[in-house]
Structure 1
Amino acid sequence: MSKLGDIGARLYRGEVGYDFVGKRFLWYGVSILITITAIVALAVQGLNLGIEFKGGAVFTTPKTTVSDSKAREFAKEASGHEAIVQKLGNGGLRIQITALDTAEANKVKAELAGDLKVAERDINADLVGPSWGEQIANKAWTGLGVFMILVVIYLAIAFEWRMAIAALIALIHDLTITVGIYALVGFEVTPGTVIGLLTILGYSLYDTVVVFDGLKESTKDITKQTRFTYSELANKSINGTLVRSINTTVVALLPVAALLFIGGGLLDAGMLNDISLSLFVGLAAGAYSSIFIATPLVVDLKEREPAMKALTKRVLAKRAATSAKGTDDADAADAPEVVAQSRSGRASGRRR
C-alpha cells in the first residue's frame, strides 16, 4: 500500500506519468470496438425483458421439497413458456411466466399444485400487465433525458461547453456498454435494472468532474506561459487523479461485486442480478471513460482553438531554441580543447 501511495504522490507531482492523451486514438479505437459489439449484441439478441415489461403471472408457493430446476420444467410443461424460478427463504418458490392471461394462469396454477404436491389454495397467483413496465420505462427515459440536459447545462456553466460535450459522450458510452452487456449475458431486465442504470450516471460523472476540475485549475492563464501545451497539462491532470480514481472505483466495486457474485451467483438470489450487474459494469465503464475518453475528447476540441494552436507553436519554438542553445554551449565548451589540439599539431610539425 505504501508503494501505491508513493506512486500516487509521484504521479500527482508530475515526476512520473503515462501518456494517456498522446495515445488517445488507441483508446478511441478500443471504445468504438466495444461499443459496436454492444450495439450488435443488442440488435441481434435483444434484451431479456422481465415480466414487468412483457406481462404475465407470478406464482408464489408454500414450502416444497421440489428443486427450482424441477419446478422450472413443471412450469414450462404447464404453460408452454420458459419460466424463471427463484428459491425463497421460507423454502417456497417464486415462479414467473410471461404472456399469460387470467384463464391460462388459473390452469397453470392447478397443474403446478399437483406437480409440486401443494394445495392449490396455498399458491398465490398475481397477474402483471405490461403497461406498468411501460410506464416505468417511459419515466426512466424522461428522467434520463432531463438528467443529460441538466448535466450539460451545469458543466457548461461550471467549466465550459467542450467539457460538457465530452462528459455527455462519456455517459452515452457507459450506458451503451452496460446495456450491451445485458444483451450478451442474457440477464433479465427489470425495474431494478432501470434503477441501476440511472444510478451509474452519477458514478460515471464523478470521476470525470474530478479530472475536469484539476484540468481547469492547471490550465488557468495557460496562454501566459510557454512551458506546456494544453494536451500536456491535460495529461498531467489525468495522472494526478489516476490513483484516486482507481481507489474510489475499487472501493465502490467491492460491495457491488459481493452482491453480483456471492448474492446472485453462490446464493442464487437472482433478483440481486437485476441491479448489481448494471452497477458493476457501469462503475468500471465510468472509471475507464473518465480517463480514456472524456479528457482526451476535451483536448481534441480545445486544441482546435486559434489560441491553443498559437500556444503550441510558441512552446515548440521555445523548446527548439533551448535545444539549439544547448548544442551551441556544448560546442563552445569543446572549442578550447579543439584549439589546443590544433596548436599541438602545428608545434609537432615545426619540430619535424
Structure 2
Amino acid sequence: MPSNTNDKIANPKTRWNWDFIKYSKYFYSFSILVTVIGIISLLVFQLNYGVDFRSGSNVDISAKQLSKAQIQEVLNEAGLGQRDMVITPGSQQSSVRFSDVLTEADQSKLQAAVTSKLGKDASTEINTVDTEIAKELERNALIAVLVASLGIIIYVTIRFEWRFAVAAIIALLHDAFMVIAIFSIFHLEVNLTFIIALLTIVGYSINDTVVIFDRVRENMRFAKVKTRQDLHAVVNKSISQTMTRSINTVFTVFIASVALLIFGSEAIRMFSLAMVIGLLFGAYSSIFIASPLWFLLKGKNVNTSKKPAKATN
C-alpha cells in the first residue's frame, strides 16, 4: 500500500495532453509583439508617473460624488484653476495632481475653498514631493527590482542549474515588463503601490516557475534522455503534471486581486490592477515562456533524432 502511494507521488497522472513546446513559437511571437509595442509606448509616451515619482502636489478631496466641473469650481475659488494639473473625480474620493509644489498659502486657500463649496464634511489631504525626493524614490524602486532579480538568479542557480536560472529570470523580467508596458500603453498612473505590486508579481511568478522546473528536474532523473525528442516529451509531461496546481494557485490570488480592484479604495486601485495583470502574465510565462526557453538551452547539448520518443503518462 505505501509503495502505491509513493508511485503516485513520483509519477502523477498527466491530465493536460498538449504539446506546449511545439506551439511555444506562437507565444514567443505574442510576447515579442507586446514587448515591441511597450518599448515604443515607453519611448513616445513614457510612464504616467504619480506624485511619488515626480515633484508636485497631490490633493485628495474626500466628499460625496463630485464632477470634474465641481472640482474645477473649487480650484478656481482657491486661485489654482489655471495651474497645470490632472483632475480625477471619484465616488467618495477625488484627486487633483499638480505638476508644481503648492505653497502653504496655496494649501490654506484650497482647504478654505473646499469647505466653502462642498461643506464642512468635506476634507482634503495634500501630499507634496520635491524633485530630489522623487528622483531618489525612482532610483530606489529600480534598485529594489534589480536586487530581487539578482537574488532569484542566485537561488535558482544553486538549487537547479544556470539554464534554469536564465530561463527563470527572462520569464520574470518578461512579467515585470508586460505590466509596465500595459501601464504605459493605457497611460495608467505609476506610484509606489505599483512598485510593491511589481515585487509581489515577481515573487508569484518565480514560485510558479520553480514548481514546474522542480517537476522537470525530477522527471529528468528517471527519463532516459538521449535525443531532443526525449527532452521534448519530458518537458511537456512536466508542464502537464503541474498545470492544474499552477492554475489553482494563481486563480485564488487572482480572485482576491479582482475583489480589491472592484471594492478597494482609490489608494490601492493601481496596485490591484497591476496585480491582476501581473498574475495573468506570471502564469502565462511560467508555462509558455520559461519551460520552452529551458528546453531550447538544454536541447543544444542533446542529439537530434527523427523518431520522436513517447512520453510515459
Scaled to the shorter chain, the TM-score interval is 0.7 to 0.9
1:163 maps to 2:164: yes
Conserved 8 A contact 1:72-1:85: no
Cα shift at 1:148: 1.3
**Which deviates more, 138-147 or 128-137?**
128-137
Counterpart amino acid of residue 133 in structure 2: W
Could you say which residue in structure 2 is the equivalent of 1:253? 254
Change (3 A) 1:235 1:318: closer
The number of residue pairs the alignment matches comes to: 295
Could you say which residue in structure 2 is the equivalent of 1:45? 45
Counterpart amino acid of residue 21 in structure 1: I
Counterpart amino acid of residue 72 in structure 2: E
Unaligned 5+ runs, structure 2: 1-8
Alignment of 1:37-186 (within 5 A): 37-59=37-59, 67-74=66-73, 75=75, 78-85=81-88, 94-102=95-103, 105-106=106-107, 109=110, 112-113=113-114, 116=117, 125-186=126-187
- What's the Cα RMSD here? 3.2
Could you say which residue in structure 1 is the equivalent of 2:3? none
Q: Which has the higher helix share?
A: 1
> Which residue of 278, 294, 304 maps to 1:282?
278
Give, in whole Å, the separation in 2 of the partners of 1:80 and 1:56: 11
Could you say which residue in structure 2 is the equivalent of 1:326? none
Cα shift at 1:128: 2.5
**Which deviates more, 46-55 or 227-236?**
227-236
Cα shift at 1:134: 2.4
Cα shift at 1:105: 3.0
Give, in whole Å, the separation in 2 of the partners of 1:51 and 1:241: 42
1:316 maps to 2:307: yes
Secondary structure in 2 matching 1:13: coil
Could you say which residue in structure 2 is the equivalent of 1:19? 19
Give, in whole Å, the separation in 1 of the partners of 2:153 and 2:308: 37
Conserved 8 A contact 2:16-2:243: no
Secondary structure in 2 matching 1:237: helix
Alignment of 1:330-345 (within 5 A): none
Secondary structure in 2 matching 1:127: strand
Cα shift at 1:223: 4.2
Conserved 8 A contact 2:171-2:289: yes
Cα shift at 1:299: 0.4
Cα shift at 1:14: 3.4
> Which residue of 291, 294, 300 maps to 2:296?
300
Unaligned 5+ runs, structure 1: 1-8, 264-268, 320-352
Could you say which residue in structure 2 is the equivalent of 1:273? 269
Cα shift at 1:43: 2.0
Conserved 8 A contact 2:194-2:271: yes
- 1:112-143 Cα offsets, whole Å, 9 max, x none, are 45872668xx8665533233332222222112
Conserved 8 A contact 2:230-2:309: no
**Which deviates more, 216-225 or 295-304?**
216-225
Change (3 A) 1:114 1:243: closer
Change (3 A) 1:106 1:241: closer
Identity fraction in percent: 29
TM-score for the superposition, normalised by structure 2: 0.82
Could you say which residue in structure 1 is the equivalent of 2:28? 28
- 1:32-67 Cα offsets, whole Å, 9 max, x none, are 11211222222222211111222222445575x672
- 1:122-174 Cα offsets, whole Å, 9 max, x none, are 86655332333322222221121111111111111111100100001001111
Give, in whole Å, the separation in 2 of the partners of 1:148 and 1:171: 8
Cα shift at 1:69: 2.2
Give, in whole Å, the separation in 2 of the partners of 1:14 and 1:61: 55
Counterpart amino acid of residue 148 in structure 1: S
Change (3 A) 1:79 1:53: farther
- 1:271-292 Cα offsets, whole Å, 9 max, x none, are 2222111111111100000000
Could you say which residue in structure 1 is the equivalent of 2:4? none
Could you say which residue in structure 2 is the equivalent of 1:336? none
Cα shift at 1:108: 6.0
Give, in whole Å, the separation in 1 of the partners of 2:62 and 2:184: 33
Counterpart amino acid of residue 292 in structure 1: F
Cα shift at 1:71: 3.8
Change (3 A) 1:108 1:193: farther
Secondary structure in 1 matching 2:202: helix
**Which deviates more, 293-302 or 76-85?**
76-85
Give, in whole Å, the separation in 2 of the partners of 1:291 and 1:97: 43
